Amino acid sequence: MLVLIALLCFFLLPAIHLVRWSVQAIQHRREQQLHQPSLHLRVSRVRRQRRYLQLTLVAADGQKLPPARAGQHIQLFGTDAAGQPVSRAYSLAQDCRHSHFYRLVIKAETGGRLSSQLFDTVQAGDLLQSSQPKGHFVLTRSRRPLVLVAAGVGITPMLAMALQGLRQRRPVTLVYQARTEADLLFQRWLSRLAHLRFIPVLSQPDASWSGETGHINAGRLLQLCGYQGDYYCCAAAQMTAQLKQDLALAGKTLQAELFAAAASQQELSIRYRDIQASAAGFSSVLDALNSAGACIPSDCRGGSCGLCKKRLIQGEVIQMLDPAAPLHSGEVLTCCIQAKTALVLAD
């Protein structure tokens, strides 16, 4: 018996230490990712189309930029019209093999603190500061057909994924929902991209439009693209949630990135320190608390930076986004959740 115990200790203890070391190494790498140095970028090209701003950014020192994966974003840091610091995450709209530039398409939102300021003022030659590429909404390698669904400015990560999917020699279908033909970003380029099946769908077409019309739903998607593909989507919250629910009933999983979460309709109490807020009218717990004066820091607002992390003391939440930042038991990212019941949070 003593010999058996000695043998177990001889073999098991090194294995336990190896597992512990591996876990610690992974945790260390993830923590390093959260504190990566910012990038200094120069605007090399500016294009404005309706309320969309297209920026091409290069390294201010002329060097190569950190690599990105299709679907990832960078976080731009700037100031709003009042001179207050603000940051927002924008997806990379490009072939991510390129390491000499980043391309962004930014919609100038009404009341947008950074998007409107950039649209009104940015010029070629300006210097901007950003994070390194990050985000967990990325394309996984597969041989299955790839189905990409975009609406509005949600075309940006889908464009990068389409190019990567084509390089993987996968059949790629891109379904693009927009109001009018003028709202279709990159339409001419996408319609000519070799081997891409491009299906634009307009909800408010004019008489000259001969393509698909109406609104995309799960039944129509499955009819157009079949049951064998991997489905990815970047659209507004309501459209994404409905597609995810309906595709799940058909046995399909939808990988999704939200670019505009729907506001909560629930009059639920959210308490943090001595701050009391209501969930109603806000797209996240973070927005609800900060509107009440909590001043919780945040950068990406998409689950990557981890700055808005808090402990959930009481209540249940709705997970609007899957967090990429590491979390311990009982922790939540307030930018990724809405209240399901009354909540109590702490540092």
Q: What is the DSSP string of 184-252?
A: -TTHHHHHHSTTEEEEEEESS--TT--SEES---HHHHHHHH-SSSEEEEEEEHHHHHHHHHHHHHTT-
pLDDT given for residue 200 in this prediction: 97
Same domain, 155 and 232: yes
Q: Given the structure tokens 């109603």, which residue do they identify?
A: 280
Same domain, 208 and 122: no
Q: 5 lies in a domain?
A: no
Q: Which of 260, 290, 313 is the last residue of a domain?
A: 260
Q: What is the DSSP string of 141-188?
A: P-SS-EEEEEEGGGHHHHHHHHHHHHHTT--EEEEEEESSGGG-TTHH
pLDDT given for residue 21 in this prediction: 43
Q: 3 lies in a domain?
A: no
Same domain, 106 and 157: no
Same domain, 207 and 276: no
Rg over alpha carbons for the chain, rounded to the nearest Å, is: 22
Same domain, 233 and 152: yes
pLDDT given for residue 187 in this prediction: 94
Same domain, 158 and 241: yes
Q: 334 lies in a domain?
A: yes
Same domain, 187 and 215: yes
**CATH number of the CATH domain containing 204:** 3.40.50.80
CA pair distance 234, 255, nearest whole angstrom: 9
**CATH number of the CATH domain containing 113:** 2.40.30.10
Same domain, 151 and 254: yes
Q: Given the structure tokens 């391309």, which residue do they identify?
A: 103
**CATH number of the CATH domain containing 321:** 3.10.20.30
Same domain, 279 and 227: no
Question: Which residues does residue 260 pair with via DSSP β-bridges, in sequence order?
Answer: 236
Q: 33 lies in a domain?
A: no
Same domain, 44 and 83: yes
Q: Which of 96, 130, 164 is the last residue of a domain?
A: 130
pLDDT tens for the chain, residues 1 to 347: 555 555 555 555 555 544 444 434 434 344 444 456 789 999 999 999 888 999 999 999 999 999 999 999 998 988 878 887 777 889 999 999 988 999 999 999 887 888 999 999 999 999 999 989 988 889 888 889 999 999 999 999 999 999 999 999 999 999 999 999 999 999 999 999 999 999 999 999 999 999 999 999 999 999 999 999 999 999 988 898 899 999 999 999 999 876 556 677 889 999 999 999 999 888 889 989 988 899 898 766 777 778 899 999 999 998 877 777 789 999 999 988 999 999 999 99
pLDDT given for residue 36 in this prediction: 60
Same domain, 155 and 123: no
Q: Count how many domains the chain has.
A: 3
Same domain, 254 and 275: no
| Domain range for 287 | 269-346
Give the pTM: 0.76
Q: Which of 130, 159, 186 is the last residue of a domain?
A: 130
Is 291 in a helix, a strand, or coil? helix
CA pair distance 290, 78, nearest whole angstrom: 19
